[in-house]
Structure 1
Amino acid sequence: MKNWLKSASLATRLTLLVLLLTSLTWAAFSAVLLYETHDEVSELLDKQLYVYTELLWQSLDDSDDLKILISGKPDHLPRVVFSLYSSEGKLLLSSSEHVLPFQTEYEKKTRTITLDDHRWEIAVRQNDERQLIVGEPHQKREQLIDEIIEYLGITAMIALAILLPLLLLAIRQGLLPLRAVDAELARRAPDNLEALTLAVPREIAPLRNRLNTLFAQVSATLEKERRFTADAAHELRTPLAGLRVQIELAQGSPRPEAREKALKQALLGVDRSTHLVGQLLELARLDFAAIQTDQKVDIVQLAEYALQDAGLAPECLHTENTSTWYGHAGLLALLLRNLLDNAKRYTEENAAITIRINQNSICISDNGPGVPPEVLARLGERFYRPPGQSQTGAGLGLSIVHRIAELHRARVTLASDHGFQVTIRQESIGPSKSG
């Protein structure tokens, strides 16, 4: 049963729950209502019996009025009887063979007695001279009360029978927005990742928003995959074609020096392709991976290692007012290596390259020829290489730098006043998570 409930539809579970709770509540309410009705009707009959007793008491001195009252009893009191006693307990008058006994105690309220094996409800009225006792059998009272309760019970059952289908209909109507969302998703093509714009109730809005967020994330992931595939196919086609040409030249050339030159060019092509594939994979990893950038990093030590890997002197590093950086040590090392590699590639031999690190920024500069403004504006675009470049490359180094900076909540600024400068400025120092 439990497993069935878990696998049942939301409409079924909600319907069963509402119907069960409604039925239980209705049953409890009906029980209380019938109990209260029983008490209220009993109290009303008691009051009416006492009113009839007062009328008889006031008519005792007028025989005509007494006869009228005796013959004109209420319809719901067909067996009301009375007995009249003197103050000493002598029977003076009785309306039937059922003589009600003299009461030694007087209270202004009805009471229940047993007479001839039957229960009677009596009311007493007396003064110093006489006592009037008026009574009716309990059987008639209970019969009247039972009829009223039966009528109310049948009415309550009919009302419940009408209410339950209406509740079922209301539940079905209330779940229509979910059906609308389901129908909209069913109509969609697999590649349709546009946001849902259906108007839904407030309770369903979080689900719609979560779906829209998921669609956006999947769309971004697919776009990254398409971009990576297109970039890889575009950029690898040329070096691989050149590599094939050089190998064919080496195979077909009869001169050893020509074959050696072709093989050397093929090796350079392999190196370029390896470098390109490595950068593409690094860029793809940055695009798809969830990167933790909340670890403390010794940025000065990373800069020293990067200078060592680039074959530059430690004196190139200048620090002032440094503080603890938070980020991913491997990615920041990759950022520094890319910047130093670019600085070495595009400056003259023995050019001055400097790394300056202060409290929240890293600046790598050189005294090379710099770049014109129109080229500076496009640096950082994927696979963009300025025209007339003699150095090999794929145009991905600065793209990787920009992506790593973005993951670390940092901003990249390029300048070319005297030489070329790249500044990485972290907007806020502190633990964070990027993905």
Structure 2
Amino acid sequence: MSLTRRDWSLRARLLLIAGVAILATLFAGSAAMYWAAANEDERLLDSRLEDLARTVLSFSEHEITEILGDGRTEMMHAETAATLGSRYRYQIWTRHGTLLLHSYKASKTEPMMPLTQTGFVTRPIDDEEFRVYAMEGNGGEMVIQVAECLDERESAFGLVSVYFIGFLVLPISLIFAGTWWMLRRSLHSIDASAAQLSARSPIDLTPVVAENPPMELQPMLNSINALFERINRTLSLERGFTAVAAHELRTPLAGLRAQAQIAATASSPQELAQSLALVMAGVDRASHLLDQQLDLARMESAASQAELQRKSVDVLRLYQTVLGDLGDLAQRRGLSLEADFLEPRIVAMELGVLLLLRNLLGNAIRYTPSGGRVVVSTRRDGDTITLTIDDSGPGIPAENRDRVFERFERLGARGGDGVGLGMSIVQSVVMAHRAIIRLLESPLGGLRVQVRFPVAET
């Protein structure tokens, strides 16, 4: 089952994260403020209800006391609607349950709460919720009960809440606008870098320059610029390699043409045979050059996957494979080939070890005089396995040993079937395996090549 890739915006996601954090903080703070304000408002309204009870009692207590002193027990009088309006109600009772005074809409027969109870209580009256407060007066002879409709309370507090929420919209809008502007400014370097990359040509590998980039973007820019530098260096090497390869191919091709022209105009069978032999030699040299170029390209392309391609390699088997290609040449030159594999296996790329042996043995066989010796050996030295190739040839002067790794460098040699790429291939193999190569004087009198491979588990 295929998964559909979803495009997403870093700017939008950061704005969403910031928005959620801001809204969560504001709503949490607003809820806490609302809860605190509601509790404080409830306390203040209860306090005001308590003060109202004391005020009503203080205005009526003297007159009621005189009436009680005269022995009258009938209800004194009722207040009109204009006295307290519909929001408040009150009753003044004797301790024995006689109603002395009541407000508009207050019951004439039923107290708003039991006369034995004082303090605050919330209860329904006439199908509405009321907050009722009761207190004693005149030394406990009277009880005043004051009630406030909760709908009136909530409508007043609801209006304040609407204003409170309305005023929150302005700071939220300002915070969102400021956050969006800051994100846009912070991500400007990303947009500028993208614009640079999209506007440049495919061969423009100059570093990407971003003005004051954030620290989080700097590693990415450094990696991109480092990649451009490596690509530019690789392309430069490839351009140089292509130019030199074209130059090197021109010589054998020109020779082939010349010998073909001689063969076409040969005046005798001997001259024709000689020209055709030279044509065949030129073809072999051009073919060898192409083979070496292909080997070098294969090794360089496989170097990036060297860690994944490593395995336990049988060095003896690869040595015998190489002898199958070079054994006839060694036999014609009368060379003595010896092998001493004390460590028969190396954890490495099989292709790399094969190319290494083919080029090092090929050089030793080509440059060792007739009747000479070539010895190949391996041994383990601590955490390395050393591959050594000794020959009894002329060797290489110490001052020229670094030059042999340059491409098409033959140290002034002329003729033969060498093209100057063998040691470049060897160096590519060594670098892919993080190995170490040394060119030394051989006990046989010629050149000793030592390659130290780090020991690794399969």
TM range (shorter): 0.7 to 0.9
How large is the RMSD of aligned CA atoms in angstroms?
A: 3.6
Matching residue within 109, 114, 121 for 2:125? 114
Paired with 1:419 and 1:97, the residues of 2 have a C-alpha distance of: 127
Identify which of 243, 247, 254 aligns with 2:260: 247
Secondary structure at the aligned position of 1:109 is classed as: strand
- Residues 1:316 and 2:338 aligned together: yes
Among 411, 414, 422, which residue is 1:386 paired with? 411
Alpha-carbon spacing, 1:40–1:316, altered in 2? closer, same or farther (3 Å):
same
Contact preservation (8 Å) 1:243, 1:269? yes
Q: Which amino acid aligns with 1:263?
A: L
By how many angstroms is 1:278 displaced? 0.5
Query: Contact 1:57–1:125 at 8 Å: present in 2 too?
Result: no
| Cα deviation code 1:160-218 (max 9, x no counterpart) | 34444334333323322221212332443432223334342233334334433542453
Map residues 115-130 of structure 1 onto 2, 5 A cutoff: 115=126, 119-126=129-136, 128-130=140-142
- CA offset at residue 293 of structure 1? 4.2
Is the CA contact 1:327–1:431 (under 8 Å) kept in the aligned structure 2? no
Q: 2:369 aligns with which of 348, 351, 357?
A: 348
In structure 1, C-alpha distance between the alignment counterparts of 2:129 and 2:142, rounded to whole Å: 24
1:330 pairs with one of 351, 356, 360: 351
Q: What residue in structure 2 maps to residue 67 of structure 1? A: none
Give the Cα separation in 2 of the matches to 1:266 and 1:51: 125
Looking at structure 1, the residues matched to 261 and 84 of structure 2 have their Cα atoms a distance apart, in angstroms, of: 122
With normalisation by structure 1, the TM-score equals: 0.82
How far apart are 1:9 and its partner, in Å?
4.8
User: Which of residues 312, 335, 348 in structure 2 aligns to 1:296?
Assistant: 312
d(CA) in 1 for partners of 2:339, 2:222: 49
Number of residues of Structure 1 aligned to a counterpart in Structure 2: 418
- Please show how residues 18-417 of structure 1 align to structure 2 within 5 Å: 37-38=37-38, 40-54=40-54, 56=56, 80-94=88-102, 96=104, 98=106, 101-102=110-111, 103-104=113-114, 105-115=116-126, 119-126=129-136, 128-198=140-210, 199-289=212-302, 290-291=305-306, 292-311=308-327, 316-320=338-342, 322=343, 324-359=345-380, 360-416=385-441
Preserved contact between residue 86 and residue 129 of structure 1 (Cα < 8 Å): yes
Q: For the residues of structure 2 that align with 1:201 and 1:24, how far apart are their CA atoms?
A: 27
- Unpaired segments of 5 or more residues in structure 1? 65-70
1:421 to 2:412 alignment: no
**Farther-moved stretch of structure 1 (287-296 vs 348-357):** 287-296
Distance 1:52 1:332, change over 3 A: same
Judge conservation of contact 2:336–2:371 (CA < 8 Å) in 1: no
Q: Quote the Cα distance in structure 1 between the aligned partners of 2:7 and 2:388.
A: 60
Distance 1:27 1:308, change over 3 A: same
Moved more, 238-247 or 53-62: 53-62
Output the amino acid matched with 1:190: P
Contact 1:85/1:92 (<8 A) preserved: yes
TM-score (normalised: structure 2): 0.79
Cα pair distance change 1:244/1:77, threshold 3 Å: farther
State the shift of 1:288 in Å: 2.2
Change in 2 beyond 3 A, CA 1:167/1:381:
closer
- 2:310–2:348 CA contact under 8 A, matched in 1: yes
Structure 2 alignment gaps of length 5 or more: 65-78
TM-superposition CA deviations, 1:131-180 (whole Å, max 9, x none): 11122344432332222122112222344344443343333233222212
> Aligned-pair distance for 1:296?
0.3
Residues 82 and 99 of structure 1 are in contact (CA less than 8 Å); yes or no, is this contact kept in structure 2? no
8 Å CA contact 1:382, 1:395 repeated in 2: yes
1:296-324 Cα deviation digits (max 9, x unpaired)? 0122332344345432689601233x264
> Which secondary structure state, in structure 2, belongs to the residue aligned with residue 344 of structure 1?
helix
Q: CA deviation at 1:22?
A: 6.0
What's the CA shift string for 1:330-362, capped at 9, x where partnerless?
A: 321221121121111112112111112111111
Q: Relative CO higher for 1 or 2, CA cutoff 8 Å, sep ≥ 6?
A: 1
Task: Percent identity, please.
Answer: 29
